[in-house]
Each structure stands twice: as C-alpha cells, then as structure tokens.
Structure 1
Amino acid sequence: MYKILANTIFFGKDVHFLSECHSTNDIALNLVRQFQVGEGSIVICDNQTKGKGQRGNFWQSEAGQNLTFSLVLRPDFLDISEQFYLNMTVSNSLRRLLQDYVPQLEVKWPNDLIVPGYGKMGGILIENTFSGKEWEFAVVGIGLNINQLSFDSETAVSLKSITGSQFELEELFRLLITQLEQGYIQLKKGKLQEIKSEYLMNLHRRDSWSKYSANEEQFSGKIVGISAGGKLEIELKDGEIEVFDLKEISFL
C-alpha cells in the first residue's frame, strides 16, 4: 500500500492506490474531469493491464514488479507552445535518480528511458486537457521496469536485470516523486534553458550519425537539437537540418 508522502511539498499528498487497473492515465483523467483530484495527486497501480505508451502502443508490466503511476499537474504557468518543457522536466527528473543505479542511462526522444546496449527501461506518456487556449491539467503517466526479469519484447530491460539487485518499490517511488517535485519546481521558476540543456546533454544519439526512416525511406542523420515545439532536429549528410514530429520518423 502506497502512503501519502511526508517528504514532499505538494506531490503525493493525495495517493490513489489500486491493486489492478487497465490504465492509471485513464483513471487519473476521469478523476480530473470529475473534479475529484488536484495538482500533485497520484494514481498508482500494482497490476496495470493495459498501460498506454507512445504511438498507441501498450506498456507491458508484470504485477507487483514495477512502478506504473500517473501524476496530475496543472502547468498553466506555461504557454501551450511550451508544453514540451514538461516532457523534458519529467525525463530529466527520472534520469537523475535512476542514473545513480545505471550511470549510462539516456533519454530517447521524446521521453523514453533507455540503457544503450541493453534496452528500454521506462516510458512517459503525458496527456493534456485544455479549455480553449488555456492549459488545464496534465496527466503524466510513468512506467518503469524495476524488478521484472522476463519480457515479451526483446528491447525491454529492467533495473534489476542490469544491476542484479532487488529494489523496494515503495521506497523507490518515494525517491522518484521527490525528484519529480524538485524538477517541477525548477520548471515553475522558469529555468527553461537549464531544463533543455540537461535534456540535450543526455539525449540518445545526439551528435552521432545513425540510421532513421521517414516517408518510407531510410537515411543517415545526426540529432543536433530539439525545436521550440519539441520536434526532433536532425542534420543530414548534405548539412541540411530537417525537423520531425513523433509520428514522422522511426529510429533504426
């Protein structure tokens, strides 16, 4: 049972624990729409059966072995055009803590946590609600592979499979939420350049030539940055910079 956190300012003061659910993001979004939760509320599930990932994929998780939760935020201090800064903030916060155990951990654009040579350890899916041009709430869904050792996907990896250590989920959850709150406070203070610089510093494939696919064609490119709207900036062999959205490019 996950308890209300005592070591944070406003994150985790309202924790909804479910032994099983289909998606913590769906549960959190419903609570938001019913005005039953506020900023900092968390929905966490021991056995998430249909967790959502990027591109409409599902996030597979074995019961009782991982951390799958959603955090409700109200980042209305940001302009809608700046919403990718929230993605970067969350990615940075998770990486900061987990790199203590896996120093080689990187962020794969837009917001996956991967260990080069091993695979994907975690993912983030942020779903927003708006009222006209005003940002109301953001539901930050997080899935982290912690103690699971067997996966259907060959590209998945866990903290335990890399380190060989068993982790106490509730303690790790407490540390993660503390780190997430610190990152969010940094965002509220307007430290946008610092957030982006940290994200780029730990971005997978940055400044290295790699293979990609777009418009049913393969090409070589080098990630050089992220646009103001969160799109991926890739330098081509001829020196031209092209910009790609999430559904427009695949990593090979």
Structure 2
Amino acid sequence: MYKILANTIFLGKDVHFLPECHSTNDKAIQMIKEKVAHEGTIIICEHQTRGKGQRGNKWLSEKGLNLTFSLVLKPSFMDLSEQFYLNMAISNSIRKLLQEYITSIKVKWPNDLIVPEYGKIGGVLIENTFSGDGWEFAVVGIGININQQSFESTKATSLANITGNQFDLKELFRLLITQIEQGYLHLKRGNWAEIKNEYLYHLYLKGEWSNFKDDRGEFKGLISGVSKEGKLEVELESGDIELFGLKEIVFLNY
C-alpha cells in the first residue's frame, strides 16, 4: 500500500491506491468531475490494463513491477499556450531521479525517457480538463518501467534490465514525487528559461543530423530546439527551420 508522503508540501498528501484499473489518467479525470480530486491528488495503480501513451499508443505494464500513476495539478499561474513548460518540468524531474541510476538517460521529444543504447524506460502523458473559465486541471500520467524484464516491444526496457538490480517501488515513488514537486515549484517560481535549457541539454538527438519522416517522406534534419508551444524545431539540409507537432514527425533513428 502506498502511504501519504511526509516529506512533501502538497503532492502525495492525498494518495489513492488501486490494485487494478484501466487508466490512472481516466480515473483522475473522473475524480475531478466528481469534485473529489484537488491539486496534489495522486492515483497509483498496481496493474494498469489500458494505460495510454502519446499518439494514442498503449502503455503495457506487468502487475506489481512498475510505477504507473497520475497526479493532479492546477497550474493556474500559466496560460494554456504555455503548457509545454509543464511538460518540460515534469520530464526534467523524472530524468533527474533516473540519472541517479542510469547516467546516459535522455528525454526524447516530447516527453519519453529513453536510454539510447537500450530503449524506452518511461513516459509522460498530460491531459487537461477545462471549466467555463478555461484551463482547470492538468492530469499528469506517468509510467516508468522498474522491475519488469520482458517486453512485447523491442524498444522498451527497464531500470532492472539496465542495472541488473531489483528496486523498491514504494521508495522510488517517494523519491520521484519529491523530485516532481521540486520541479513544479521551480516552474511556479518562474524559472522557465532554466527549465527549458535543462530540457534541451538532455534532449535526444539535439544537434545531431538524423533521419526523420513526415507525410512528404523521409528526410535528414537536425533538432535545434522546441518552440514555446512545444513544437519540435528541426533544421533541414537547406538551412530552413521547420516546426513539427506531435503526430507530424517520426524518428527513424530510434
């Protein structure tokens, strides 16, 4: 059982543990609609049967071996057009914890955690809820492969596979929530340039000529940054810079 965290200010003071659920994000959104969730609420599930990833992909996880949870935030200090800074702050926080165990971890745009020589170890999916006044809550879904050792996808890996060790999920959860809260408060204090610089410094393939594909075909490009809205900035061989949204570009090197 995951307990209320004592070493945080607001995250993890309201923890809901579910032995099984379809999706912790869906459960969090339901609780928001029922007005039983607030900023800092966390829903953690031992076995998530229909976890969601980016691009409509599924996040498959074996029972009791990984961390799959959602947390509820109310970033009312931000405009909806600036929400990618929340993405970056969360991604940075997860990477900071994981790099204590794996030094070569990178963030693959927009918010996958990967170890290039092994594969994907985790990911983030942020879904927003709205009220009559606009942006109400951000539901941050997080999945990290910890002790699972076999995967359907050859592009997936885990902390255990890379290090050869087994980990205490409850302790990693406590450390991760503490790190995420610190990152969120960093964002709330307005340190946005620092957050973006850190994100870009650890961004997979940034500054490297790589192979990509869009709806026009394959091409070579060099990731140069991300826009304020979170679009990927790619320099083409012609020298032009193009911006790509989530479903508009495919990484062929990964």
Helix, strand or coil at the partner of 1:16: strand
Give the aligned partner of residue 18 of structure 1: 18
The residue that corresponds to 1:248 in the other structure is: 248
Unaligned runs of 5+ in 1: none
Q: Deviations over 1:28-50 (max 9, x none)?
A: 00001111011000000000000
User: Counterpart of 1:113?
Assistant: 113
Instruction: Give 1:218 shift.
Output: 0.1
Q: Specify the alignment match of 1:163 in structure 2.
A: 163
CA distance in 1, matches of 2:238, 2:70: 43
**3-state SS in 2 of match to 1:246:** coil
1:90-135 deviation per Cα after TM superposition (whole angstroms, max 9, x unaligned): 0000000100100100000000000011100001000001235621
**Partner residue in 1 for 2:9:** 9
Show the counterpart of 2:91.
91
- Which amino acid is the alignment partner of residue 155 of structure 2? T
What runs of 5+ residues in structure 2 fail to find an aligned partner? none
Cα distance in 2 for residues equivalent to 1:161 and 1:113 = 15
Contact 1:43 / 1:69 at 8 angstroms: preserved in 2? Answer: yes
RMSD between aligned residues: 0.7
Question: CA offset at residue 73 of structure 1?
Answer: 0.3
Q: By how many angstroms is 1:177 displaced?
A: 0.1
CA contact (8 A) 1:80 1:133 kept: no
Q: Quote the sequence identity (%).
A: 65
For residues 55-99 of structure 1, give each alpha carbon's deviation from its aligned partner in whole angstroms, at most 9, with x where no partner exists: 111000000000000000000110111000000000000000100
Q: Which moved more, 1:128-137 or 1:145-154?
A: 128-137
Report the secondary structure of 2:156's partner residue.
coil
Deviation by residue 1:5-42 (Cα, 9 ceiling, x = unmatched): 00000000000000000100000000011110110000
The AA in structure 2 aligned to 1:25 is N
How far, CA to CA, are the matches of 1:220 and 1:184 in structure 2?
35
Q: How many residues align?
A: 252
TM-score (normalizing by structure 1): 0.99
Q: With structure 2 as the length reference, what TM-score do the two structures score? A: 0.98
Per the alignment, in what secondary structure is the counterpart of residue 19 of structure 1?
strand
